[in-house]
């Protein structure tokens, strides 16, 4: 490993031994996605997950009226995964789509299982990511109930400014549970504060 591998930002040498990284890193496959490519389609079983090196991705579900509602956004360093589909081996109800051209690092389910069961540090790292993802999802669901849309937007700007700057307004609005007109108004109010 002469050149620093992108995944050393994810699996750093403070947590992982050099020998572990030499096993783990080559298992990931570099994959390019073009803008609008689907990483995962509704109704399929998630057989891979990805770390994003470059670009933006979103997950979305379709409501009963046929409108797509953004459920999450992903950017550099994020793990793009449908946790229930990947681990429970069932069909997903979401789509995962590239919002821009993307460079990702992909790992398949079988290889994940092998690494998970053979390298304790990899297993603990995965558990920590799963727990972090669960907490974020839980906080987001509570926020949708208890916080005003303006507060949810401010929080998104603070926590993920790169998402707000690079994701279309309409997709941000569905994620926040408001219309794009309402989100435009909220942005104007915040700009004038």
- What is the reported pLDDT for 3? 61
- What is the reported pLDDT for 2? 45
The DSSP symbol for 180 reads H
What is the spatial distance between Cα 150 and Cα 2, in angstroms, rounded to a whole number?
Answer: 47
Question: Could you give the C-alpha distances from 136 to 2, 98, 117, 156, 175, in angstroms and in order?
Answer: 36, 21, 26, 12, 14
- The structure tokens listed for 104 are 């990702």
- What is the reported pLDDT for 181? 94
Q: Is 140 exposed, middle or buried (0-12, 13-18, 19+ CB in 10 A)?
A: middle
Mapped onto helix, strand or coil, the DSSP state of residue 98 is strand
- What is the reported pLDDT for 168? 93
Question: What is the H or E stretch that residue 96 is in?
Answer: strand 95-98
pTM strictly above 0.85: yes
What is the residue-level pLDDT of the chain in tens, covering all 193 positions? 446 789 998 998 788 999 999 999 999 999 999 999 999 999 999 999 999 999 999 999 999 999 999 999 999 999 999 999 999 999 999 999 999 999 999 999 999 999 999 999 999 999 999 999 999 989 999 999 999 999 999 999 999 999 999 999 999 999 999 999 999 999 999 988 8
């Amino acid at each position: 490993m002469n050149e620093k591998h992108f995944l050393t930002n994810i699996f750093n040498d403070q947590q992982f031994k050099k020998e572990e990284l030499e096993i783990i890193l080559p298992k990931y496959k570099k994959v390019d996605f073009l803008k609008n490519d689907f990483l995962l389609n509704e109704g399929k079983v998630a057989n891979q997950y990805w770390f994003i090196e470059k670009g933006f991705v979103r997950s979305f579900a379709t409501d009963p009226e046929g409108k797509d509602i953004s459920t999450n956004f992903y950017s550099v360093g994020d793990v793009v995964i449908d946790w229930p589909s990947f681990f429970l081996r069932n069909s997903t109800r979401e789509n995962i789509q590239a919002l821009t051209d993307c460079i990702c690092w992909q790992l398949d389910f079988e290889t994940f299982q092998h690494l998970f069961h053979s390298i304790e540090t990899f297993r603990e790292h995965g558990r920590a990511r799963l727990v972090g993802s669960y907490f974020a999802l839980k906080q987001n669901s509570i926020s949708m109930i208890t916080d005003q849309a303006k507060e949810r937007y401010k929080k998104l700007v603070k926590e993920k400014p790169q998402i707000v700057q690079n994701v279309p307004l309409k997709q941000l609005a569905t994620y926040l549970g408001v219309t794009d007109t309402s989100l435009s108004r909220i942005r104007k109010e915040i700009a004038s504060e």
